[in-house]
Amino acid sequence: MLQQRVITATILAALVVTAVFKLPGDYFSLILGLIILVAAWEWTHLIGINAPSRKYLFLLGLLLPMLWIQFWTQFLEGLQYVIETAQQDLYQHAKKVGWISISSFMEYLNIPDVRLYSGVLEWLVILPVIFWVLVMVLIKHSPTGVLNLELKPRQKAWMGWFVLLAAWMFLVRLRVLYGPEMAMYFLILIWVADISAFFVGKMYGKTKLAPEISPGKTMAGFYGALASAIVCGVLVSLLYGFPLMNASDFILLSVLTVLISIYGDLFFSVVKRQSGVKESGSILPGHGGLLDRIDSMIAATPFFYAGIFLIYRIIEDAQATGVAG
């Protein structure tokens, strides 16, 4: 079983590394979108949506906003062209027919460039970050209460739609805006944390982390995952020569990201336990379903993206202040 898991994991890792570093942005978005759609299909199974028509409707509900987000910048470019063309045509027509007041008004009318609003998508990260922090707090303080929480399939569907769309969106943006290296670091961080939690838990795990939800997870594995995050953050900080303040922020973000990922894993374990299944599917030999492999990543992506966004803004503000000074 372990050998099968290792072989599958090795193949997947090689494919992911190739996709992150070699694929153009649009193709990366497409591949990641297909992965999320497969995970969404497994999610419908977990929450009791069995009718094929409802399953496809759920996938369509994910696909449409994905396309809208993917082409958001192109949409703004087209909208700006329409606005500028309409403004110019109206001005020329008003001038031609002698509408002096209107033509004078159009000369001084300053319509803002809608392309300046391309960054509005950044604000959407707030909701998934709040959601996953609340999930962490609830599971930590009331695991039995979370496990006994009864939600309707429709409510679970909306929840799955929300977290899956957020994961796709912000992993794509992480790679586009902050580079393949940053996206790869995030994925390695989650992988290393999962591996560390597994082996440290096997070797030293006695006290259970959340036995009501996932009996296999231990406090030793929990601390092993957090320790691995510190190691990853320190190594990358040394490799890139981060200043002490930036390095400390980056290491803290790495630890908190892994913390969120652990409770994200437990969140999906709750859903599986409520459904009476151990795995979300069987598409990956030795690993179960695709959702089983990316559950930690789904939870951690918005949080890591928000942290990187804030760190970069702090650095940019500090540099701007230094230049101005």
User: What's the domain count of the chain?
Assistant: 1
Decide if 294 is inside a domain.
yes
Decide if 99 is inside a domain.
no
- pLDDT for 325 equals 45
Decide if 105 is inside a domain.
no
Per the structure, the complete domain to which residue 141 belongs is given by 2-70+126-324
Element (H, E) at 78: helix 72-97
At residue 194's C-alpha, the angle toward residues 191 and 199, to 5°, is: 125
Average pLDDT over residues 221-233: 97
Decide if 109 is inside a domain.
no
- pLDDT for 231 equals 97
Q: Which of 22-26, 85-89, 130-134, 147-151 has the highest mean pLDDT?
A: 130-134
Q: Does 268 or 103 have the greater pLDDT score?
A: 268
**pLDDT category, 20, cuts 50, 70, 90?**
very high
Coil, strand or helix: which one is 284?
strand
Q: What phi and psi values does residue 48 have, to the nearest 5 degrees? A: 90, 20
Coil, strand or helix: which one is 289?
coil
Q: What DSSP designation does 288 have?
A: B
CA-CA distance, 36 to 58, in Å (whole number)? 12
pLDDT greater than 60 at residue 112: no
- pLDDT for 278 equals 85
Average pLDDT over residues 277-294: 79
pLDDT greater than 50 at residue 1: yes
Helix 180-204 to helix 153-178 angle, to the nearest 10 degrees? 120
Decide if 115 is inside a domain.
no
- pLDDT for 322 equals 64
Coil, strand or helix: which one is 311?
helix
Decide if 263 is inside a domain.
yes
Contact 274, 143 (CB under 8 A): no
Strand partners, 293: none
Give residue-wise pLDDT tens across range 123-168: 899 999 999 999 999 999 999 999 999 899 999 999 999 999 999 9
Tell the residue number behind the tokens 């951690």, with chain if given.
300
Decide if 82 is inside a domain.
no
- pLDDT for 323 equals 46
Integer CA distances (angstroms), 290 to 34, 38, 304, in order? 11, 7, 21
* pLDDT-above-90 percentage for the chain: 64
pLDDT greater than 50 at residue 324: no
Give residue-wise pLDDT tens across range 254-285: 999 999 999 999 999 999 999 988 888 777 66
Element (H, E) at 310: helix 290-324
Give residue-wise pLDDT tens across range 30-67: 999 999 999 999 999 999 999 999 999 999 999 999 99
Integer CA distances (angstroms), 42 to 164, 176, 281, 293, in order? 12, 28, 6, 12
Structural tokens at position 282: 């069987």
Decide if 66 is inside a domain.
yes
Give 140-152 as a DSSP string: HH-HHHHHT----
- pLDDT for 213 equals 94
* b/e sequence 53-78, b meaning 16+ C-beta within 10 Å: eebeebbeebbeebeebbeeeeebee
Cα 169 to chain centroid distance, Å, stands at 6
- pLDDT for 230 equals 98
Tell the residue number behind the tokens 């900080």, with chain if given.
237
Average pLDDT over residues 198-203: 94
**pLDDT category, 308, cuts 50, 70, 90?**
very high
Average pLDDT over all residues of the chain: 87
